[in-house]
A and B are shown apart, each in its own frame.
Chain A
Amino acid sequence: MDDTSKASGGRKTKIQVKNLTRSFGDLTVLNDISFNVAEGEFLSIVGPTGCGKTTFLNCLSKLLPTTKGNILIDGEEANPTKHNISFVFQEPTCMPWRTVRENVAYGMETKKFPKEKLEERLKYILDLVGLSDTANLYPNQVSASMEQRIAVARAFAVDPDLLLMDEPYGQLDVKLRYYLEDELVRLWKTLNSTVVFVTHNIEEAVYVAERILILSNKPTKIKAEVLVDLPRPRSLIDPKFVEIRKQVTELIRWW
């Protein structure tokens, strides 16, 4: 059962996706996708434009019902009210009427964290993400990148079973993206979360992930799997890094 996750390295399987299929009328978008994610793994998913990445994430997060197949978390059918599933969207999702602190707390609030635990964890996360200084400002008083960091902090705060990210840094400039990617990796390592990171940016995927799944065109299947066993911090000009990046690029190009 664990043969798909070569990167697991003896880690426990956290997420099982079994025969996930989603069609809209006659159009099959996701075609019988199966894979596992190990506990604490950082998995990236890349694919050509329009291959159904967003549909895929929406199914994983249970925003969309699946046509066939199921998603198991710790062997149980995934359920947003029971499991902690966090989703960082492409667009900023700050509530303008809440301060930075209250925005970060939203997930924990909804998950009904006890008050003391919530406060304690909130302080910890705000410090970790470097938002303590701006905690009492409103989202429109901070920069756009900061808004995305708020969403990331909110997602990590609930100690998610599964953290889904949909091109969270797609709209930011390159320099800032590197900075936030480093921060993301740091958060993931510190908090030992299970992350599924969807992106169309191959370099980004190779930079952050332990393992990359490459999707095919519609109807979407998993086309290939690439392990990224490079030490961190990773260098973008390391020959091995470049090689993996080329490999993934080729895999995407030759559908």
Chain B
Amino acid sequence: MAYESVKVETPLLLRILPVASVVLFFAVWQAIVDFGVVPNTMLASPTQVAVLFWEKLFVADPDGAVLSVHAWVSIQEAFTGFFLSLAIGIPLGLMMGWFSVAEGLARPIFELIRPIPPVAWIPLTIFWFGIGIPGKVFIIWLSGIVPCVINSYVGVRMTSPTLIQMARTYGATDWEIFKKICIPSALPMVFGAMTISQAYCWTTLVGAEYLAADQGLGYLITMGRRLASPPMVVLGMICVGLTGVAIGILIERVEKKLLAGIRR
């Protein structure tokens, strides 16, 4: 084929800088703690965290579970909430964007609930579900569904009017236009929603575990505070961050694959 793919080399500087910035960040952090600029009771050094990380891979004490268990519990909660918000939020948003009945029915309620921060639901959730997994999933679901609905809605709304007209001239029905024109055209926005929603879910997860949990990465942070152990707090934070990054990369991969035609 006449269309070849072109390889573009990243300049050396651009490859070095990100690494340098990370190395510098940790070096400064280590120095601050080692030289006592910030006392060790307030902040743990990277090496302390690394040591604790290694220990926590095998030792359940003092917080009751090894690191992988904490992470696994958190991931389960976050993903259950995340998938539920995708499963309900995306179809709802898409329908709201195209069918005026759906918009008329759902929009007012959605706008009413949307400004309430998900963590504000925690007390009610505890009344309803107790402190187990369902309650946390509910809160995570609430936070994840907002970007799903908004992005899917906007995505459908941004469908090129000419494409819709084109479909109409061929005699396509409203449903066919929705299915074959509006949804594919909204997909980039929907995938954007997945990324944002995942971030929201993951953030809310920590909030939810803060208040009511006995396992999970958010719980690890809380325990670190109770035990006055800065390394454990920082370890919890880093694990939350790293897991979030890993999930983000995963979603980006999936998105790139599915959207080959659109973003090429």
Q: Is there contact, CB below 8 Å, between B3 and A137?
A: yes
B170 within 8 A of A: yes
Q: CB-CB < 8 A to B166: which residues of A?
A: 87, 89, 93, 151
The listed residue (A80, A91, A96, A133) touching B170 by CB distance below 8 A is A80
Q: Is there contact, CB below 8 Å, between B170 and A95?
A: no
Q: CB-CB < 8 A to B168: which residues of A?
A: 63, 80
Q: CB-CB < 8 A to A254: which residues of B?
A: none
Q: Is there contact, CB below 8 Å, between B262 and A97?
A: yes
Q: CB-CB < 8 A to A228: which residues of B?
A: none
Given the known A-B contacts A97-B184, A97-B185, A110-B176, are A80 and B261 also in contact in the complex, defined by CB atoms under 8 Å? no
> Chain A nearest CB: distance from B191 CB in Å?
12
A193 within 8 A of B: no
Given the known A-B contacts A63-B165, A95-B184, A97-B185, are A106 and B170 also in contact in the complex, defined by CB atoms under 8 Å? yes
Q: CB-CB < 8 A to B162: which residues of A?
A: 89, 91, 93
Q: CB-CB < 8 A to B185: which residues of A?
A: 95, 97
Of residues 182 through 199 on chain A, the ones whose CB sits less than 8 Å from some CB of chain B are none
Q: CB-CB < 8 A to B169: which residues of A?
A: 61-63, 80, 85-87, 164
Q: Is there contact, CB below 8 Å, between A96 and B3?
A: no
Interface residues as binary, A79-99 with B (CB distance below 8 Å gives 1, 0 otherwise)? 111100111010101011111
> Chain B nearest CB: distance from A139 CB in Å?
9
Q: CB-CB < 8 A to B165: which residues of A?
A: 63, 87, 89
B171 within 8 A of A: yes
Q: Is there contact, CB below 8 Å, between B170 and A158?
A: yes
B167 within 8 A of A: yes
Q: Is there contact, CB below 8 Å, between A95 and B171?
A: no
A136 to B264, CA, bound (A): 14
A82 to B173, CA, bound (A): 12
Given the known A-B contacts A89-B162, A93-B162, A95-B184, are A110 and B262 also in contact in the complex, defined by CB atoms under 8 Å? no
Q: Is there contact, CB below 8 Å, between A80 and B171?
A: yes
Instruction: Name B167's closest neighbour in chain A (CB-CB).
Output: A110
A137 to B261, CA, bound (A): 9
B140 within 8 A of A: no
Instruction: Name A98's closest neighbour in chain B (CB-CB).
Output: B261
B172 within 8 A of A: yes
Q: CB-CB < 8 A to B184: which residues of A?
A: 95, 97-98
User: Across chains A and B, which 6 residue pairs bring their CB atoms closest together, nearest first?
Assistant: A87-B169, A80-B171, A81-B171, A110-B170, A97-B184, A93-B166
Known A63-B168, A141-B264; 13 more pairs at CB < 8 Å? A62-B169, A80-B171, A87-B169, A93-B162, A95-B184, A95-B185, A98-B184, A107-B170, A110-B171, A110-B172, A111-B171, A137-B3, A138-B261
17 intermolecular pairs with C-beta atoms under 8 Å apart: A79-B171, A80-B169, A80-B170, A80-B171, A82-B171, A85-B170, A87-B166, A89-B165, A91-B162, A93-B160, A93-B163, A95-B185, A97-B262, A99-B261, A107-B170, A110-B172, A110-B180
